[in-house]
Amino acid sequence: MDKTINITLKVWRQRGPKERGAFESYKLDGISVDTSFLEMLDIQNEILINQGQEPIVFDHDCREGICGMCSLYINGHPHGPDEDITTCQLHMRKFKDGETITIEPWRSAGFPVIRDLMVDRTAFDKIIQAGGYTSINAGGAQDANAIPISKEAADEAMDSASCIGCGACVAACKNGSAMLFLSAKVSQLALLPQGRVEAAKRAKSMVAKMDELGFGNCTNTGACEVECPKNISISNIARLNREFITAKFKD
Amino acid sequence: MSWLLNSSIGRKFIMALSGCALILFLLFHMSMNLVLIFSVEAYDMICDFLGTNWYAIVASMGLAALFIVHILYAVVLTLQNRKARGSDVYASSNLSPVEWSSKNMLVLGLVIVAFLVLHLYDFWYKMQFSELFHLEGAEPHGSVIAIDLFSNPVHVLLYLIGITALWFHLAHGFWSMFQSVGINNRIWLPRFKVIGYAVATIICVGFAIVPIFFLAKHFLCSSCI
C-alpha cells in the first residue's frame, strides 16, 4: 500500500481580473505521496465539480517540465519547495502529513491575474516579438563544423536556451524584473554567429519593450537564479547588460 | 545619451558608476583617517591641504554631486520597482534564499545617510564650512575634533553602527556594480563576491580602528594624550 498524507490546501480564488480575490481552504485526505502536485489539484477539482462548485483554475500543459505553462507560488517558492523543477514535476512526497499548503498565483504588476491561479503572461510574448529571433533565413541544417563555434559558446548558448519562459524569475523577484528571462533569450542568440548579426538591435529593442511593459529594474538579488526551474545563471544578465551598454555607446 | 535615464539598464549603469567612484572615495578617506593613529601632525597637514582652497572646494562639490546622484537614483529605482512588483504581497512570504543585504540596500543606504548627516555636522561643518563662511567656532585642526569626539563612547557606538551598515551595503554593492555594467561572467561572479567582501572589510575595519583606538586610549591611558 502506498503511503498517503492528509493535507489542507489554502488556495487563492479570484473570479476575474477586476474582482477581489481571497484564500479558501480545502481539506484533502488520503493523497498518495506518489501523486504529482497537479494531479493532486485535479483530485481536488474533481471533488469540487462533484459538489457543484467551480473548479480551481490553474495553467498547465505538457506536465513534463518543458512547456513552461505551469506556474503556482507554493509555500513561498515559485514552482514549490523542490529545486530545479517546474510545478508539474513536483510530487506530494515533498510535503508532510497534516501540512497546510499555500498556493498563490505569480504576483507582479507585469503578470495580472486572469482567474484564480492563472496569470496573463503575454508580456513575455511581446518581449520575444520585439526581437527574440533571427530575421535571416538560415537555410537548411549546416554540415557539422561548417561554422566554427567554440565548445564553451555552444554550451552557454544551450544552457541559456533551456529557459522555458515560465515567469518564475519575475514571480520570485522583489522588483518584478524580467531580466533573467530577457537575458537568457538575448544570450542564446548573441553567443552564436547566426544570432550575432542582429545582437545589438535585439538587446536594445527587447530591453525597451521590457521597460515599456512595466517590469522592474534588476538589483542583483539573485532570487530569480535560485528559483529558476532550468537553472539559468545570472551571468546571462551581465551579458545582457554588456550587450545593451556597448550597443548604446556605439550609437 | 537619454538611455541613461530612460532605460532600466542605463539607470543601473549610473548607480554602478557613482557607486564605484564612492568606493574609491571611501578607500582614500579610510587611508587618510589611519594617519591620525600614527601622527597627529601629519593628519592635521592633510586636513589643512583639504581645507579651504579651490581644489578642495571643487572636489567636495563633486563628491556631494556623486552622493546626490547615487541617492536620487536609488530612490527612483526603488519607487519604480515597488510599482513593478505591484501591491499584492505573497501570503506565504518570499522564501527564496538570497543575501540579506541585497534585499535591503535602500534601508542600509538610509542608515548610511543618517550617519553621513551626523558625520558632516561633526567634522565638515566645523572645519571646511565654518572656515569658509567665517563662522565662530571654526576648528582648523581635524585631530582636535576627532580625538575629542572619540573619547565619548556613545559617539563611537553611533560611528560603529554607521560603519556596520556600510559593510553590508558594500558587501552587495561591490560585485553588483560589476554585474550592472556587464563586466561579469560565470567564473568572475564568485570571485567578485569574494573581492567585494575583502574590500568592504578593509574599508570598514580601517574606518572602525580610529574611533576604537582613541576611545581605548582615552580610557586606558588618558595621560598619553
Cβ-proximal residues to B166 (8 Å cutoff; 6+ apart), any chain: B26, B108, B112, B115, B200, B203, B204, B207
- Chain B: closest CA distance from residue A229 (Å): 13
Task: Give yes or no for B2 touching A (CB within 8 A).
Answer: no
Q: How far apart are alpha carbons B65 and B55 in whole angstroms? A: 15
- Reduced to 3 states (helix: H, G, I; strand: E, B; else coil), residue B82 is helix
Of B77, B96, B172, the CB nearest to A226: B96
Q: How do beta strands A77-78 and A22-32 pair?
A: unpaired
> Which one, of A164, A167, A155, A158, lies nearest residue A65 by Cα?
A164
- Sheet of A73-74, strands arranged across: A22-32, A4-13, A100-104, A73-74, A77-78
Q: How far apart are alpha carbons A207 and A186 in whole angstroms? A: 10
Phi, psi of B58 (to 5 degrees): -60, -45
Q: What is the CA radius of gyration of chain B?
A: 20
Of B9, B84, B95, the CB nearest to A216: B84
CA angle A128, A169, A171 (to 5 degrees): 110
Q: How far apart are alpha carbons A131 and A201 in whole angstroms? A: 8
Amino acid (1-letter code) at residue B118: L
pLDDT at A158: 96
Task: Give yes or no for A79 touching B (CB within 8 A).
Answer: no
Task: Give yes or no for A114 touching B (CB within 8 A).
Answer: no
pLDDT at A69: 95
Other C-beta atoms closer than 10 Å to the C-beta of B186 total: 14
pLDDT at A204: 95
Structure-block grid coordinates of residue A143: 554540415
- Reduced to 3 states (helix: H, G, I; strand: E, B; else coil), residue A154 is helix
Q: How far apart are alpha carbons A194 and A214 in whole angstroms? A: 30
Using DSSP, how many helices (H) and how many strands (E) does chain B show?
10, 0
- Chain A: closest CA distance from residue B105 (Å): 9
pTM: 0.92
pLDDT at B9: 96
Structure-block grid coordinates of residue B9: 539598464
Cα dist from B208 to B17, B40, B43, whole Å: 26, 17, 17
CA angle B205, B207, B209 (to 5 degrees): 65
Q: Quick check: A1 pLDDT over 70? A: no
- Say if residues B48 and B222 touch (Cβ distance below 8 Å): no
pLDDT at B224: 61
Task: Give yes or no for B185 touching A (CB within 8 A).
Answer: yes
ipTM: 0.90
Chain B residue nearest residue A209, CA to CA:
B7
Q: What is the pLDDT along chain B (225 residues), one digit of tens a residue?
A: 788 888 999 999 999 999 999 999 999 999 999 999 999 899 988 888 887 788 888 999 999 999 999 999 999 999 999 999 988 889 888 888 898 999 999 999 999 999 999 999 988 888 878 777 877 777 778 888 888 889 999 999 999 999 999 999 999 999 999 999 999 999 999 999 999 999 999 999 999 999 999 999 888 876 665
Q: Locate cell 566554427: which residue?
A: A148
> Which one, of A224, B187, B120, B23, lies nearest residue B15 by Cα?
B23
Chain B residues closer than 8 Å to A226 by CB: 96-98
